[in-house]
Amino acid sequence: MENQSVSLYQLLGQVKQSLKNNLPSSFWVVAEISEMKVNFSGHCYLELIEKEPAADSIKAKARATIWASAYRIIRPYFETTTHTRLAAGMKVMVKVNVEFHEVYGFSLNITDIEPSFTIGEMARLKQEIINRLIAEGVFEMNKAIPMPDLPGRIAVISSQTAAGWGDFSDQLTNNAFGYKFHVKLFPAVMQGEDAEQSIISALDAIFAFDGFFDLVVIIRGGGSQSELNCFNSYWLAYHICQFPLPIFTGIGHEQDETIADLVAHTRLKTPTAVAEFIISLFRQADERINELSIALTEAATDLVEEEKERLGRFLLHLKPGVMKILADGKGNLQLLGHRMNSSAKHLLLRETGIITRRSDRLNRLSNEYLIVASHRIAMKAQRIRETCRKFIESTRHNLIMLDKKSMYLDPFLILKRGYSITYYCGKALKDPKLVPENSEIETRLAGGILKSKKT
């Protein structure tokens, strides 16, 4: 068989023709946008894919375009209905014409879009995230933190340039009651693809000052209503849930709440509403303090009054009681006085009797004793006199006798009777052998001294 050939152009022309002949002019197609780009002339180029749900692998892929003329209508229609911008990662239902061009190949020309499909898809996705957070047990965690009594130190996550931040800060600073708030901005990107990570980083920065702040506020003032997708992010919600401080949101939107709002401690619509709410917490605390102050004063005053009354009642009962006691006392004293008087007299009488009797007896006994004693003394004196007299008598007799005796012993009388005394050298001599030859001796005689020599 001879090889028959056609040119590439002819072939692709046939493909184009057969597509045109066999397919309806348009389809409604469900797909996910994987890439999206708008060029300077307003044409939008996309890549549409379909994933294998279980494996997350791509099982179909096609280029698509929205020509500027159509995009000018589709984009606002989609955004006002869904409050979301068309963006990569989004599931859409679009009306397409299948196009095939010999040079540019296969592509889908998008002519229309069904926003309600995307809304449904987003709601489903949101519900999935909510379910996941609930299943993980974190959904209620931030809500479980008690409402702060006085959140005076406030960490704010917002865009520095956002009007909402300025309003919020002004409102707190210039509050009518003069409460003092310390507000610190942790700047973050609040819309677009980077918002999720940026807000999480801001939360991390606040966490680093653990213990200093009382409250975190996430606010977003102004900006497009269609930029809220980042607040439906699972990871942002996950961080909000588990943040140790209560998080208040004032993201500023009117339609359905975002997941960030749902998991936040307290959800308020606008930054202004958040500021008002915080001021109202202070106001409540202020009022409570004033109430307590008044109640305390009243209670203390009441207590003092009560005590005064009680004392008054005491006094009332006390007076008659005291009077009675005094009267009783007086009577008793008088009685006692009488008794004392009579018993004292009685005692005196009795004692006087005893003393008199004793003194009489003493008198009598001493007289008797004196008589006996003087008698004894007289006797003794008699005896002494007698004894003395006898003694003197006998002494005198003895003296006479002695005198007589001494007469016989008188040496002169003895010499007269012929005795002599010989002296040698002045001493009475009793042995002649004691006198040497030719020595002179003296002999005392009654008539005088005789001197002689021993021969």
Partner 1 sequence: MDKLNLSYKEAVTSIEEILQQIETGELDVDELAEKVKKASELLKLCKDKLFQTEQDIGKILKDMSEDKE
Interaction site with partner 1 (CB under 8 A): 149-150, 152-153, 178-182, 184, 209, 212, 282, 285-286, 288-289, 292-293, 295-296, 299-300, 303-304, 307
CB 46 within 8 A of CB 63: yes
- Cβ neighbors of 60 (< 8 A, separation 6 or more) are 31, 49, 50
Structure tokens at 238: 């996950």
The Cα 217–Cα 281 span in angstroms is 15
Least Cβ distance, residue 180 to partner 1 (angstroms): 4
* Closer residue to partner 1 in complex, CB, 61/184: 184
The Cα 259–Cα 256 span in angstroms is 9
* Closer residue to partner 1 in complex, CB, 149/440: 149
* Closer residue to partner 1 in complex, CB, 212/369: 212
Least Cβ distance, residue 206 to partner 1 (angstroms): 10
Least Cβ distance, residue 285 to partner 1 (angstroms): 6
* Closer residue to partner 1 in complex, CB, 99/276: 276
* Closer residue to partner 1 in complex, CB, 287/440: 287
Least Cβ distance, residue 150 to partner 1 (angstroms): 5
The Cα 180–Cα 396 span in angstroms is 144
* Closer residue to partner 1 in complex, CB, 86/156: 156
Distance between alpha carbon 192 and the CA centroid of its chain, in Å? 49
Q: Which of 26, 89, 29, 18 is nearest to 62 (CA)?
A: 29
What CA–CA distances, in Å, run from 348 to 4, 260, 287, 334, 355? Answer: 176, 112, 86, 21, 10
Least Cβ distance, residue 163 to partner 1 (angstroms): 22
What are residue 431's phi and psi, to 5 degrees?
-145, 120
Q: What is the DSSP letter of 149?
A: S
Distance between alpha carbon 340 and the CA centroid of its chain, in Å? 69
Least Cβ distance, residue 202 to partner 1 (angstroms): 12
* Closer residue to partner 1 in complex, CB, 293/395: 293
The Cα 294–Cα 442 span in angstroms is 154
Least Cβ distance, residue 221 to partner 1 (angstroms): 22
The Cα 386–Cα 347 span in angstroms is 58
The Cα 346–Cα 353 span in angstroms is 11
